[in-house]
Amino acid sequence: LVHHALGPLVEGKRAAEIERLRVLDPACGSAHFLVEAMRFLGQALHKAYVEEYSGKAPPEFRGTTGQGWDDNWQASDEEARATGSEARAWCKRRIAERCLFGVDLNPTAVQLARVALWIESVAGDRPLTYFEHHIRCGNSLLGSWLARLEEPPRPLSRLDGNPLRSRLPFQDPVRRAIQEAARLRRIIDEARPEDLRREGIEPESTEEQRYKKHLQEKAEEILAAAKLLFDLRSASAFLPEIWAEWDTLTSLISDPARLRTYAEGRPWWPAFREVKERQRFFHWELEFPEVFLDPEHPGFDAVLGNPPWDKVKPDRKEFYGRYDILIRAFVGGELDRRIRELEREIPGLHEKFEAYQDRVKTVAACLKRGGDYRYQDWEVDGRSTGGDPDAFKFFVERAWQLVREGGRVGFVVPSAIYNNEGCTGLRHLLLHEAQVERFYAFENRKKIFPIHSSYKFVSLVFRKGRPDGDGFEAAFMRHDLAELEATARYREPGQEKVAPFAAPW
Q: 477 by DSSP, 3-state: which?
A: strand
CA distance 426 to 430: 6
CA distance 446 to 198: 58
Greater model confidence, 377 or 324: 324
pLDDT of residue 168: 53
**C-beta neighbour count of 296 within 10 angstroms:** 6
Query: Residue range 158-175: average pLDDT?
Result: 62
Q: Taking Cα atoms as reference points, which of 484, 479, 481, 477 lies closest to residue 498?
A: 484
pLDDT of residue 66: 84
pLDDT above 60: residue 160: no
CA distance 419 to 458: 11
pLDDT above 50: residue 505: no
Query: Residue range 367-379: average pLDDT?
Result: 90
Residue type, 164: L
Sorted by sequence, the CB contacts under 8 Å of residue 349 that are 6+ apart come out as: 323, 342, 343
pLDDT above 50: residue 241: yes
pLDDT of residue 464: 97
pLDDT of residue 387: 76
% of residues, the chain, pLDDT over 90? 77
Query: Residue range 77-94: average pLDDT?
Result: 95
DSSP 17-37: HHHT--EEETT-TTTHHHHHH
**C-beta neighbour count of 148 within 10 angstroms:** 13
pLDDT above 50: residue 388: yes
Residue type, 388: D
pLDDT of residue 439: 95
pLDDT above 80: residue 165: no
- Read off the pLDDT band of 138 (50, 70, 90): very high
pLDDT of residue 499: 38
pLDDT of residue 491: 59
pLDDT above 80: residue 116: yes
pLDDT above 70: residue 434: yes
pLDDT above 50: residue 164: no
Residue type, 463: R
Query: Residue range 83-95: average pLDDT?
Result: 95
CA distance 115 to 271: 34
Query: Residue range 251-273: average pLDDT?
Result: 95
What angle do the packed helices 256-264 and 269-279 form, to 10 degrees?
Answer: 100
Q: What is the pLDDT of residues 16-75, one digit of tens each?
A: 999 999 999 999 999 999 999 999 999 999 999 999 999 999 999 998 888 899 999 999
Q: How far is CA 7 from the centre of its chain?
A: 20
pLDDT above 90: residue 127: no
pLDDT above 60: residue 321: yes
pLDDT of residue 166: 46
What angle do the packed helices 86-98 and 32-52 form, to 10 degrees?
Answer: 120
CA distance 46 to 61: 12
pLDDT of residue 457: 95
pLDDT of residue 503: 35
Q: Taking Cα atoms as reference points, which of 399, 394, 372, 419 lies closest to residue 312?
A: 394
Query: Residue range 321-334: average pLDDT?
Result: 94
Q: What is the pLDDT of residues 177-231, one digit of tens each?
A: 999 999 999 999 988 888 888 888 988 889 999 999 999 999 999 999 999 999 9
- Read off the pLDDT band of 157 (50, 70, 90): low
pLDDT of residue 8: 95
| pTM of structure | 0.93
- Residue count (the chain): 505
Lowest mean pLDDT among 133-147, 251-265, 366-380, 423-437: 366-380
CA distance 287 to 140: 11
Handedness of CA 492, 104, 176, 156 (dihedral sign): positive
Q: What is the pLDDT of residues 477-504, one digit of tens each?
A: 999 988 888 887 765 665 544 433 333 3
CA distance 1 to 3: 5
